[in-house]
């Protein structure tokens, strides 16, 4: 259907590439450890499960890095095989607990032994989801909002990537229709999910194209600096993510277009009214993607609505958010709003 947009007047020098960028943040909860809920009583010798993730909360000071790559911040990246498996059975990892000093005790999977999400608020919906046994990753290091290799990583204007110049190790070219001249890359798990999502839309007569996907730190430096040179820092920050703050740098985000609606609504709010925009709003979660920047969430996410920007978080998280009607990832993980760089 023809779509009438109200953002069709483009800014000078704005190209599709320069129109995509978004990031999110919040004081990196690097030191906030989530207390394991409850303990397991074992007959014959009461004991509590070792609360490996528990500890005295010691919030790390908020630090907003400059746009200079800070390679001093190391962050080990788990192997691709350790990526979150959203469909993983809830009880596949009853990790045998060494009940030292307790003979005959058998520890069974329970809420107390369920992995919880490091960096998320203790009573947040995401904690409840994982404490309930859903979507257990094989590598517990991936249950960490600050881990750039995790599909759960939280990025916004107060939570940059660590390190700022992080590069994913498992980028692949998804077999999906491209709507731009860019070479398209996504992390392998997100790429496979995107392929399934695009195919599902096609079966319902909705044509989706990808307009932008992975963008490197270096690419974002060029994009952001271009904005700063033309418009100044304040204007640049309103439309372009600073390098290291873009979800696109994670390899988990993509911007889409409607294959049958022309380009007038590309990267504009009227994209929400296209067939592709409406379809992803309803169905992206089934494939593990969020429409990350929703109307009314500007003060939370730091960005105007972007109905074209999808972020992969896995099916379990995406569907839980949709079911609960939670409009921002910040709220789902229970962290403070990130309206600006602080």
For binding to Zn ion (CB under 5 A), which residues are involved? 20, 255, 309
Bond from prior residue into 233 cis (ω within 30 degrees of 0)? no
- Sign of the CA dihedral running 111, 119, 164, 224: positive
In angstroms, how far is CA 333 from the centroid of its own chain? 11
Angle between the N-to-C axes of helices 188-203 and 275-283, in degrees from 0 to 180, rounded to the nearest 10 = 120
Provide, rounded to whole angstroms, the least separation between the CB of residue 306 and Zn ion. Answer: 6
Residue 81 or residue 218: which is nearer to Zn ion going by CB?
Answer: 218
Provide, rounded to whole angstroms, the least separation between the CB of residue 200 and Zn ion. Answer: 21
Provide, rounded to whole angstroms, the least separation between the CB of residue 157 and Zn ion. Answer: 14
**Number of residues assigned to the chain:** 342
Residue 239 or residue 322: which is nearer to Zn ion going by CB?
Answer: 239
Residue 20 or residue 186: which is nearer to Zn ion going by CB?
Answer: 20
Provide, rounded to whole angstroms, the least separation between the CB of residue 46 and Zn ion. Answer: 52
Provide, rounded to whole angstroms, the least separation between the CB of residue 116 and Zn ion. Answer: 29
Residue 144 or residue 255: which is nearer to Zn ion going by CB?
Answer: 255
Q: How far apart are CA 332 and CA 101, in angstroms?
A: 39
- Sign of the CA dihedral running 121, 126, 132, 137: negative
Q: Beta-carbon neighbour count of residue 55 at 10 Å?
A: 12
Residue environment code for 79-102, b if the CB has 16+ CB neighbours within 10 A, otherwise e: eeebbbbbebeeeebeeebebeeb
Q: In the chain, which residue ranges form alpha helices assigned H by DSSP?
A: 16-19, 125-131, 188-203, 217-231, 233-239, 275-283, 298-301, 315-324, 329-333
Residue 130 or residue 289: which is nearer to Zn ion going by CB?
Answer: 289
Provide, rounded to whole angstroms, the least separation between the CB of residue 128 and Zn ion. Answer: 28
Residue 20 or residue 185: which is nearer to Zn ion going by CB?
Answer: 20
Residue 142 or residue 256: which is nearer to Zn ion going by CB?
Answer: 256
In the bound state, the residue with its beta carbon closest to Zn ion is: 309
Tokens of 100: 């030292």
Q: How far apart are CA 161 and CA 179, in angstroms?
A: 28
Provide, rounded to whole angstroms, the least separation between the CB of residue 187 and Zn ion. Answer: 15
């Amino acid at each position: 259907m023809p779509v009438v947009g109200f953002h069709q007047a483009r800014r000078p020098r704005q190209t599709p590439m320069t129109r995509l960028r978004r990031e999110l943040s919040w004081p990196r909860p690097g030191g906030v450890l989530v207390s394991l809920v409850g303990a397991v009583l074992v007959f014959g010798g009461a004991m509590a499960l070792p609360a490996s993730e528990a500890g005295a909360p010691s919030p790390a000071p908020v630090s907003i890095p400059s746009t200079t790559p800070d390679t001093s911040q190391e962050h080990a990246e788990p192997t691709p095989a350790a990526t979150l498996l959203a469909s993983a059975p809830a009880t596949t990892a009853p990790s045998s607990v060494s009940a030292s000093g307790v003979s005959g005790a058998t520890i069974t999977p329970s809420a107390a032994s369920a992995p919880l999400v490091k960096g998320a608020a203790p009573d947040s919906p995401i904690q409840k989801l994982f404490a309930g046994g859903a979507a257990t990753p094989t590598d517990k290091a991936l249950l960490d909002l600050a881990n750039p290799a995790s599909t759960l990583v939280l990025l916004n204007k107060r939570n940059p990537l660590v390190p700022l110049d992080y590069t994913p190790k498992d980028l692949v070219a998804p077999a999906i229709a491209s709507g731009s001249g860019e070479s398209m890359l996504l992390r392998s798990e997100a790429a496979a999910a995107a392929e399934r999502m695009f195919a599902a839309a096609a079966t319902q007569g909705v044509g989706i194209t990808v307009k932008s996907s992975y963008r490197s730190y270096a690419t974002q430096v060029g994009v952001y600096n271009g904005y700063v040179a033309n418009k100044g820092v304040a204007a640049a920050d309103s439309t372009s993510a600073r390098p290291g703050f873009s979800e696109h740098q994670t390899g988990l985000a993509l911007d889409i277009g409607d294959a049958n609606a022309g380009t007038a609504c590309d990267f504009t709010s009227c994209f929400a009214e296209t067939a592709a925009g409406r379809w992803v709003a309803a169905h992206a979660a089934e494939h593990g993607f969020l429409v990350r920047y929703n109307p009314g969430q500007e003060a939370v996410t730091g960005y105007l609505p972007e109905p074209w920007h999808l972020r992969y978080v896995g099916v379990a998280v995406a569907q839980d958010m949709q079911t609960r009607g939670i409009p921002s990832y910040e709220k789902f993980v229970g962290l403070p709003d990130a309206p600006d760089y602080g």
